Structure formats: structure tokens, C-alpha cells
Amino acid sequence: MIPPSTTISHEGRRLRRILLWAGGLVVALNLVVFIVGSSSTGGSVSGPSGSSYATTPHGSAALAGTLERLGADVIRSRTSLDETALTSDMTLAAIEVGEAGYTATELNVLDAFVWDGGRLVVVGPTSLVDHLVTGASTWRTAGSNEAEFTRSSGVDTVLLSTFGSFRRTSSDEPLLVGPDGEVVAVMRDVGRGTIVWVADGEPFRNRGIGRGDNGAAAVALLGSGRTVVFDEFRHGYVDEAGLWGTLPSPVRTTLLLGCVVALLAMISYGRRFGPPYDVTRRLGPSRGEYFRAMAGLLQRAGAVSDAVGVLRSEARRLLVRRGGEGADLTPTASAAGLATSEIEAILGSGTTADDLLAVDHAIATLTKERQ
């Protein structure tokens, strides 16, 4: 059992318990959400949207499997682009990478890759294309529920999610166009290669690849007969990432929250910096000790007799109030519980330090302030 801390008050200990319970509740809720989420996915592999590892509805594992069944070489790159061996017969698929950062070296590698004949397919909103070409089209949220190829591709209708289209510039050629003229995919020849930018990622997702001709459309956009490299480094997958990197994001979050709660618990139950509070209240010196000190000071100052006279008058006044005017003070003092030495000090005429202490002790008894 953890002993109670002596460094905070009762209110502080109550607040500490509330904070610790709140932290534990947050961790517990996170675990419940993770367990429920894992059971509801039916054993699917979670991961970021667009990842070729993820088998959840927004992943692209089905696309990678389709390419492999068609005989295409599939590479899941888990290194930065400047460490990836890209050749002109490859297609680099940057699917829903968002605003993931690319270094200047990686952008130079991408530019050289495309100019040498490589194919870059970018899916979803991102600033990557703006870094590679000038006058790129602008992505916008308004989309279409279907589109068709502007070039002969053997693909009929491509079914979409109605989220995402382009405000096309004259430098880009429309590749997928909706029934009301919404441009959903554009392409641009750069050197001997091509950059394809798709606004709506539905044909590449697990949930959408089986709708209509979406699977064939995704394969056609990636280019037939080419090795497809999925940029998984942008989705957080890194070679030699260690145990921490292999844990699912909810598990990492739960572990971090648990560490924070444990740290707060240790800090709360540990002693604070500086002197601790006393468990019991510190009282001042006793009345007797105080008057002994005062008697010493008065004796050295030669004023003991004056002090005794003042206290003796007060003690006699208290006895008169108890016994009445004209009453014998000796029996009154005895009835009040005073000792013989105290009665002699009150009724006598001594002026020593002992007389001072005795009279003071008697006054404390008479006023019920004795400590």
C-alpha cells in the first residue's frame, strides 16, 4: 500500500486522485476503442489511406495484389527516394501522400526520374506536383460520381467518390472527365516521362477497385508493362524501424498515455522539492517556556518586581471575582485548584523569578488557558 504523502494538503490529495483516475480512464478508453476497432475490421491490416500494405477500405493492398496477379513487378519502397533505385521503366505511385515532406534531394531525384522516361502517378491532394512543374492544375473538393477516359484505353465508366477534381490549367491534358466536365485526372509529358495526377483516389482504394471498371482504370493509369513502386516511406513505413515502428498507431498512443499517467503518479506520490509539510501542526512554545524566558530577560533587566506586581494584581482580581468582595482569598484559591506555592505567590510579597512563574501559572489556571 502506498503511504499517504505528507507534502500536500487533504484537498491536494483529493485533486491528485481525481487526476490519476482521469488519466487512467483516458488510457482505458483508448484501449477499448482499439479493441473495438480491431474487431470491427474483421482482421484486416490497418494502415494509412493509400498504403499498399493496408487492407482496410481506404488502403490500396487490393491494387498491389491485382498488379501482381497480372504479372507486374510490385515494389513497396520503405526508404527515401534518394535511396530508392528508380529506373525509366518504372512507375512511382504516390497514393494519398498528402503534404508529406519531400527533401530537395528527393525532388531532384524525382525530376531526373521523370525526365529520363519514368512515370509518376500522384493520387489525391498534395503539393508534390507543384514542386516538380510550373503551372500545375489546382485540386478542389468538388468532384464527380463517375468519369471517362479522354483517350482510348478500353475502359468504360470509372466510378468515383464525388470528392476531388481539378481546376485545370492549359499546361495539363485532361485524362478523366466527368459528365458535367469535371476534370478528375490530368497528365503532362515531362521530358521522356509522364506525370499523372488523379484528384479522386476511389479507383485505387480497396473499397472502390471492384466497382465498375475501376480496377482496369487504376492499372491503365499506372501504365501497363511497368514495374510499380509504391512510396510507402511517405506512409510511415521505414526499413529497420525497430519494434516501436512496427506497433500500430493506437497501441503506440496507448503506451505513451500509460507512461504519462505512470509518471504523473510517481510525481504525485513522491515528495516535493524543498521541506515537506508536517503531518501534525507545529505549535508555538508552551506558556511556561515563554514565561521562563521572559523572567530571565526581566531579571537581567532588573524589572522582575514590576512584572510580578502587575501579574499579582490580575490574579487577585480574578480571585475576588470568583469569591466576591471581602471574601477570604485563600479558600477561594484552593477551591479553584491552585497549588500552595501559587497561593503564597499571589498573597505574598515575593519578587523573584519563581514568584513570577507561579503567579502566571495561577492566572492560566483561573482563566482556563493552561497548556
Q: Are 310 and 217 members of one domain?
A: no
Residue 112 in any domain: the answer is: yes
* Band (364; pLDDT cuts 50, 70, 90): confident
Answer yes or no: is pLDDT of 99 > 50.
Answer: yes
pLDDT at 4: 47
For residue 131, the surrounding DSSP H or E stretch is helix 128-132
Instruction: Answer yes or no: is 50 within a domain.
Output: no
Exposure string over 116-141, b if 16+ CB within 10 A, otherwise e: eebbbbbbbbbebbeebbeebbebee
Nearest alpha-carbon partner for 59 in 202, 273, 264, 216:
202
Domain membership of residue 14 (yes or no) is no
C-alpha dist (Å) from residue 118 to 17, 90, 129: 61, 6, 15
Indicate whether 229 and 300 sit together in one domain: no
Q: What is the pLDDT of residue 260?
A: 80
Residues 36-49, mean pLDDT to the nearest whole number: 62
Joined together, the cell numbers standing for residue 129 give 506536383
Residue 309 lies in a domain: yes
Task: Give mean pLDDT, residues 266-277.
Answer: 60
- Is the same domain home to 170 and 93? yes
Residues 212 and 93 in one domain: yes
Q: Comparing 304 with 98, which gets the higher pLDDT?
A: 98
Question: Within this chain, do residues 307 and 241 fall inside the same structural domain, yes or no?
Answer: no
176 and 90, same domain (yes or no): yes
- Look-up: residue for cell 482496369? 216
pTM of the model: 0.59
- Mean pLDDT is highest, among 128-142, 265-279, 318-332, for 128-142
Nearest to 277 by CA among 2, 4, 1: 4
pLDDT range class, residue 371, cuts 50, 70, 90: very low
SS percent in the chain: helix, strand, coil, step 5: 45, 15, 40
CB half-sphere exposure, 158, CA atoms < 13 A: 37
Whether residue 182 lies inside any domain: the answer is: yes
pLDDT band at 1 (very low <50, low <70, confident <90, very high): very low
Q: Do 217 and 72 sit in the same domain of this protein? A: yes
Which residues are within 8 A (CB) of 169 and not within 5 positions of it... i.e. 6 or more apart? 135, 136, 137, 138
Q: Are residues 156 and 301 in the same domain?
A: no
- Same-domain pairing of 67 and 190: yes
Domain end point (choices 207, 230, 246): 246
Domain endpoint, select from 181, 211, 246:
246
C-alpha dihedral, 46 to 48 to 54 to 60, nearest 10°? 150
76 lies in some domain: yes
CA distance 311 to 294: 13
Give how many domains the chain has, as a whole number.
2
Is the same domain home to 345 and 214?
Answer: no
> What is the rounded distance in angstroms from the CA atom of residue 235 to the CA atom of residue 123?
13
Q: Output the pLDDT for position 272.
A: 57
- Those residues whose C-beta lies under 8 Å from the C-beta of residue 151, and which sit 6 or more positions away, are 175
For residue 275, being part of any structural domain is answered with: no
Domain span at residue 317 reads 296-366
pLDDT at 279: 60
- Is pLDDT at 273 greater than 60 in this prediction? no
Q: pLDDT band at residue 284, thresholds of 50, 70 and 90? A: low
Does residue 9 form part of some domain?
no
CATH number at residue 236: 3.40.50.880
Of residues 95 and 281, which shows the higher confidence score? 95
And the C-alpha cell for 45? 491490416
